[in-house]
A and B are shown apart, each in its own frame.
Chain A
Amino acid sequence: MKKKLPYKKLKMKVLAIASKGGHWVELLRLMPAFSGMEVVFVSTEKDLADTVSGHRFYTVPDANRWNKYKLIQIFILVARIVNKERPKFIISTGAAPGLLALAAGKLLGIRTIWIDTIASAEKLSLSGKIAIRFVDRVYTQWPELSGPKVIYAGNILL
């Protein structure tokens, strides 16, 4: 059966980055937003390439926020990917490697979107709080957490 294309092909490249586990699952549920666009993925587990077959996929190491040496190493790796790909947008659902990719993108004049995980239900995640300072658009998935710089437009569940 011929695949139905809901939108015409667009000349637009998006880099979508999320750590393995919940962050990655949340990112994949946003796929219709990128319909017709070229999407390049980055995650922290090489086996996840199978879940986005047909798309280019990069792997970077994972790190928590306290390991500064590792964070610098990851920043250099994601900055290289961002610089090579030069997407029009970078979008991330978390966690630390995604935030670092958005920071690298910002330095290169690329537009950035942060979607705070639905797992942060009582307050924005620590990464989300940093994202507010420089990211072009920040979403929360809980209406109570929206504010002047944080948009609520629904969540990844429904």
Chain B
Amino acid sequence: MIFVTTGTQAPFNRLVKVMDALASELDGEEIIVQASGVDFETKNVKVVGFLHPKEYNRIFNEARLVISHAGMGSIVSALTKGKPIIVIPRKAALGEHRDDHQVDSAKKMEALGYVPVAYDEEQLRTKIVNMLMDDSALSKAKIGEYASGSLVSSIRGFLLSS
């Protein structure tokens, strides 16, 4: 199963559309799309709105691949669980977010080797097909449960100093 997650703040219909079109090329693999404001009928994917955190986690854990907007919630979840993820940032020019911070942060996270990023629908299509064909291409980046020790001790030091 492939889980597509777009957050709850704004529609991301470009991603929903490309996944609906791509579904027919994926040998009937189930695709669950979490999205709000979908204003058209999907043919091949199941769309759900808000998911309770427990239900969200269950689907997230079951998926063999997660496709996500560049929201930190999904990126961090994928990295802590070692779940393969492809990120596609929202673009301000297409009205998908108020600015291009998703493009900026996705670029930097990609450069640091955290997540693969698709900057348009064609790149997404290619990356999904490649990752599903070659299991070893499924990203294995993994992080621990907590922030970097230096950040934690800096904050704790400040809390205890006053």
Chain A contact residues, CB within 8 Å of chain B: 10, 12, 14, 20-26, 29-35, 37, 47-48, 50-51, 88-89, 91, 111, 113, 115, 117-122, 125, 137, 139, 141-142, 151, 153-158
Contacts and interface: CB of A to CB of B under 8 A. Distances in A.
A57 to B, nearest CB: 13
B72 interface: yes
Contacts of B75: 22
A12 B156 CA distance: 12
Given A51-B53, A142-B108, A158 B144 contact: yes
Nearest to A50: B53
Contacts of A157: 76, 79, 114, 143, 147-148
A24 B8 CA distance: 14
Interface residues of B, number: 40
Q: Which 8 A-B pairs have the closest CB atoms?
A: A22-B72, A154-B148, A154-B151, A153-B154, A158-B148, A154-B150, A121-B105, A33-B155
A24 B154 contact: no
Contacts of A29: 76, 145-147
B104 to A, nearest CB: 4
B28 interface: no
A158 B160 CA distance: 23
Given A33-B156, A47-B53, A158-B143, A25 B148 contact: no
B94 interface: no
Among A34, A117, A121, A141, max chain B CB count under 10 A is at: A121
